[in-house]
Amino acid sequence: MIKRLLSTKLAAFLKLFPVVAVVGPRQAGKTTFVKNELRQWRYFDLEKPSDYNKLRPDVEYFFQEYGKHCIVDEVQEIPAIFSYLRSFIDSNRRKKGQIVLLGSVNPLLLKEISESLTGRIGLIELSTLTYSEIHNNVKMNLEDFWLKGGYPEPLKWTLNNHVIWVEQYIKSLVERDILRYHQVTLSAQKQIQLMTMVAHVHGKHWNASEIASAFGISYHTVNSYVDILEKYFLVRRLYPYFTNVGKRLVKHPKLYYRDTGILHYLLGINSKEELRTSPHRGFSFEGLIIENIIKGMHASKKSSPEFYFYRTAQGDEIDLLVKESNDLTAYEIKTSTTVTKSDLSGFQRCIEQLGVSGGIVIYSGRDNYSLSHNIEVKSANDFLAGKF
């Protein structure tokens, strides 16, 4: 059993809130995680007819009967749960850690939570596995993890079977969730084609008009569809950091697929050899590092850091800028196995421009060392494995 980084946060939230919701993409391990952490709690799956029929006819009776240490999975299947839970919680606000809700359909679930349970519920996002979670439990090198991504079940499968799994996962997402819950005008096949086009701009500045022109649809449609992908935890938009530095800065966000296994499937990268020679290699590696840093910080930090990139019109760039209170930490990501000062001149200028006390360079080499008084170089393998 893989121990998840969010175990501590779940325990803390159960002491603070009457209800905790764990959301995230399908097949990321939400059910396994919660059932493993709360072994004595009763579990109900609303996609299971027998459990659905226990709750659907009389929500009030269900929670009166089972509402103590109760896990309810796929809660978006019965929206009436949320309006009732508000009165159920308010009847005894002092009781904490009574109910855990699980859900995968982020747009619907979060809408109901925001309308009915604001201030009464703690929200935890459980995404796919990080490399540190894998490294601490399973023997797998970083390149294999990078190629396959972090969905727990297919990680241990052969590459051929992994490709089949991802293909079916995307097909199911499009047909089961997006077409079911959203009024999209694109067919399932067109949606997958659009997802593939988005994969080709992974790690680059997002320009919906360029995608729309190539695909033959309006940029409004493209942006609306990317909104859906973001809400289903498939993509992440990283926004530029702005400050008064007297420079003209890049304003477009960057777009990343959050799981490299899905990214590589859409790009047709199905082996380590293809990954090593792909023109998308650098952008893919950058996304891998950024996503692992963000997941790790969300799991370990009591407050929520803010994440940005920084780039000037002259081309100087910070791949990831993390803001905690008034502190900034800068990250530069390199796929090369060596790093020299000359490789980081733009990064150094950005650090000085923003007044960042120091920066971290994450690269594919093995050694960890100080490159200058304010730049540390870290091995990606060691850094992601949590050895710092």
Asked if residue 101 has pLDDT above 90, the reply is: yes
- For the segment 198-219, the average pLDDT, to the nearest whole number, is 93
Question: Cα-flanking dihedrals φ and ψ of residue 74, to 5°?
Answer: 55, 50
Going from the C-alpha of 49 to that of each of 53, 56, 68, the distances in angstroms are 6, 10, 22
Domain annotation for the chain: domains and CATH numbers: 7-125 (3.40.50.300), 131-388 (no CATH)
Angstrom distances, CA of residue 96 to CA of 61, 69, 275 = 20, 10, 48
pLDDT attached to residue 333: 98
Most confident listed range (64-73, 77-86, 232-241, 293-302): 232-241
Report the pLDDT value the prediction gives residue 114, as an integer from 0 to 100: 65
Question: What is the radius of gyration, based on Cα positions, of the chain?
Answer: 22
N-terminal to C-terminal alpha carbon distance within the chain: 24
Structure tokens at 344: 């980081």
Q: 28 pLDDT exceeds 60?
A: yes
Residue 235's closest CA among 259, 200, 206, 268? 259
Top pLDDT among 76 and 353 is at 353
Instruction: Provide the percentage of residues in the chain whose pLDDT is more than 70.
Output: 95
For residues 68 and 103, give the distance between their C-alpha atoms in angstroms, rounded to a whole number. 19
**Is 207's pLDDT higher than 80?**
yes
pLDDT digits 0-9 by tens, 159-192: 999 999 999 999 999 998 888 878 888 999 999 9
